Structure 1
Amino acid sequence: MLDTLDRPPLPDADESPLDAYSRAVTAVVDRVGPAVARVEPMARRAGMGSGVVIAGDGLVLTNSHVVGGATRARLTLPDGATTEARVLGDDPDTDLALLRAEGARSLPAARLGDSGALRRGQLVVAIGNPLGFESTVTAGVVSALGRSLRSGSGRLVDDVIQTDAALNPGNSGGPLVDSSGAVIGINTAMIGGAQGICFAVSSNTALFVLGQFIAHGRVRRASIGIAGSTVPVPRRLALAAGAGPRAVRVGEVQSGSPAEAAGLREGDLLLALDGAPIGGTDDLLRALTADRIGRAATLTLLRDGRVERRDVIPAER
């Protein structure tokens, strides 16, 4: 056993890891906390969530499921000030919504950071109003990056951040913040019954959606006008067609749609779009981005055991 004199001296209290951690968290809270609002949609049986002011003139980012289809909301800031806000944009596919606080000037605002620079194990802080307890702070680490999460609309949200910072109902729409005070995610979900498994929509996704809201008032996406399902492709046919193990089976072709104009039929198996394999409905939805609207694309499909190619011009969804 080492003699007491041989042991290294204890660090000063101000230099201990715990104090460094505490200083990092409190600095984040001091910087971002004043920009976190309670969001109450002005609709019958509406719930309550959180939001973060991202521009001093009153732009507030929150979750689509917090807004719940309402067109107006009431905001309460940490200093007790309240104001009404209107919904500028609502995108259930990414679970994001943008509000404009009416008559607001020079509000405390947080900045959106680059979620692409995150690393697993990085310190993060969540601020919000869980279960109605205002201005609550929890801290943890980035547990995983690049997760996918099913939104309320049924579409997969990509580039989701997993964290163990505790979230509860009411945290939704609040910011997930890194140690520099930058918002790197919008808290969106937790897994009931699990401990330390919570999710946030990445700030880079939020920046894209914000640009769409400001430019168009909505997020523009392309559509070919089908209802489909993910099905396995028989191995023999997959090898012959150079396709993957799964494809999209067309279940319905909408009247007057680009798919109808291209001659698609119920029962067709969609294998690829412009040569990129389609391994299921999620792949097809990801591929139908706004830049494909009005631009011809080539669908590779399997019909009656034969590979065919059809040109389709996606329209705005």
Structure 2
Amino acid sequence: MSEEQDKQRNTRKKENNRLLTKAAIIGVVAGILGGGIAYGGLSAANLNSNTSSSTASSSSSNTGENGSVTTSSSGTTKVNKSKTTSGTMTSAYKKVQNAVVSVLNYKYTSSSSSSSDIYSMFGYGDSDSSDSSSSKKSLTLYSEGSGVIYTTANGKGYIVTNNHVISGAAKVKVILASGKTIAAKVVGKDSTSDLAVLSIDSKYVTQTASFGDSRSLLSGQTVIAIGSPEGSEYASTVTQGIISSPSRTITYNSNQMTVIQTDAAINSGNSGGPLVNSDGQVIGINSMKLSSSSSGDSVEGMGFAIPSNEVVTIVNQLVKKGKITRPQLGIKVAAIADLNSYYKKQLGISTSLKKGLYVASVTSGSAAASAGIKKGDVITAADGKTVNDVATLHSILYSHNVGDKVKITVNRNGKTMTFTVTLQASN
């Protein structure tokens, strides 16, 4: 190869590298702006797929004892159009699909730029030039989650989501099922239950979801989770699973919560979206998942949702008052029915009772302590109503105001005792 040819080859190689670098940078910028290039590519692919056709030809079918055999000319195979177009949960999905939204959390960030050149975004700007440098505050998309429109009233559409989805937001927007992005207002939020309510103009609401009775759930029941896993790019993603446990007590932000456990896939971005039963009713709001154990082992299929009965109680108060002031007893409890013999032994539970709430600890100076309730007692009733799980106790307590007196019935060493507790406000 001559020296001149070698130079031409090197020049072409440099030009190709420069074009590839430019294309890569444009691709990254397009992604930051919202992935329009990716959606365009998908649309083009779908269009090409939909417009393709095959030449019609005759075919014959022979049916034998074990089934049928179809014979056709080479290269003329067709798709047989089936009349069965829906799965067992498709009708349930259709009842809520247009009520599910993506929730966008925007926060203010300070940024400094030295040039309007596209390369400055990637650190190639002239940092030595102080005159071109400026600092400014701008709204930046901080996180994404999901939500569901559950009612309309007074010209507003109300959306329930998780508190952690909109926590610290300077501005909140939602992306409707239609793809339209609109502003939303935070009506109220509650960190204890991890719930929040947003409102939008009701003119944008085309469908609302209804709540089902979470107390009627059974282990093994089929459910679907709907939301935007990994962000709005995957909005309206549906995953199917079962109810692993209709009532599981966990600790979240130092508070005890009774949640629904499901193996339906719940990923980052699903938070705030609905867990739906086969009737198309929302029976829970997806909130969290367990991805690893305390020993560091990877965990699959353990997602948790806030039960719909508690959701309804909370959102109604948030719409009316904007916040939740909770009465509390000042105790930590465990549902005996959920404990196996090993955990009973670990907690020192010697009672032969099969149901009730075991009092694992009592806060000094709390409402329960002042009334005489002690560690080791088993709560069997409150307000004369049977109590077998934490959710039921919460529902009874939350129907009262701070300062109300509530009768709590306990079993202490086989003896039934009733205490009158004056409810205190939660911290």
Other structure's SS at 2:319 match: helix
Q: CA deviation at 1:53?
A: 1.6
C-alpha separation between the residues in 2 aligned to 1:180 and 1:284?
24
1:314 aligns with 2:382: no
C-alpha separation between the residues in 1 aligned to 2:174 and 2:247?
30
Q: CA deviation at 1:170?
A: 0.8
Q: CA deviation at 1:186?
A: 1.8
Residue of structure 2 in register with 1:113 after alignment: 211
Residue of structure 2 in register with 1:150 after alignment: 250
The correspondence of residues 104-183 of structure 1 with structure 2, limited to 5 A, is 104-116=202-214, 118=217, 120-150=220-250, 152-164=252-264, 166-183=265-282
Structure 1 unmatched runs, 5+: none
Change (3 A) 1:55 1:72: farther
Other structure's SS at 1:157 match: strand
Other structure's SS at 2:364 match: strand
Q: CA deviation at 1:111?
A: 1.6
Other structure's SS at 2:82 match: helix
AA matched with 1:5: G
Change (3 A) 1:134 1:8: closer
Q: CA deviation at 1:289?
A: 0.9
Change (3 A) 1:222 1:32: same
Give the one of 141, 145, 149 matched to 1:49.
145
Contact 2:150 2:209 in 1 (8 A): yes
Residue of structure 2 in register with 1:36 after alignment: 100
Change (3 A) 1:82 1:311: same
Contact 1:229 1:251 in 2 (8 A): no
Residue of structure 1 in register with 2:86 after alignment: 20
Residue of structure 1 in register with 2:66 after alignment: 7
Give the one of 182, 190, 193 matched to 1:91.
190
AA matched with 2:314: V
C-alpha separation between the residues in 1 aligned to 2:236 and 2:282?
16
C-alpha separation between the residues in 1 aligned to 2:281 and 2:406?
40
Residue of structure 2 in register with 1:252 after alignment: 364
C-alpha separation between the residues in 2 aligned to 1:217 and 1:252?
30
What do the CA deviations read for 1:244-302 (whole angstroms, capped 9, x no partner)? 99534435326xxx46765x69xx5362558679999x699748712454124357698
Contact 1:54 1:111 in 2 (8 A): yes
What do the CA deviations read for 1:172-208 (whole angstroms, capped 9, x no partner)? 1122334544333322222213333323223333222
TM-score, normalisation: structure 1: 0.70
C-alpha separation between the residues in 1 aligned to 2:381 and 2:102?
47
C-alpha separation between the residues in 1 aligned to 2:308 and 2:349?
40
Contact 1:128 1:135 in 2 (8 A): yes
C-alpha separation between the residues in 2 aligned to 1:175 and 1:253?
39
Change (3 A) 1:151 1:115: farther
Residue of structure 1 in register with 2:398 after alignment: 290
TM-score, normalisation: structure 2: 0.54
Moved more, 48-57 or 194-203: 194-203
AA matched with 1:250: V
Structure 2 unmatched runs, 5+: 1-62, 70-79, 110-141, 292-297, 335-345
Other structure's SS at 1:114 match: coil
Contact 2:99 2:209 in 1 (8 A): no
With CA pairs under 8 Å and 6+ residues apart, which has the higher RCO, 1 or 2?
1
Other structure's SS at 1:207 match: helix
AA matched with 2:422: I
1:271 aligns with 2:377: yes
Report the RMSD for the aligned CA atoms in angstroms: 4.4
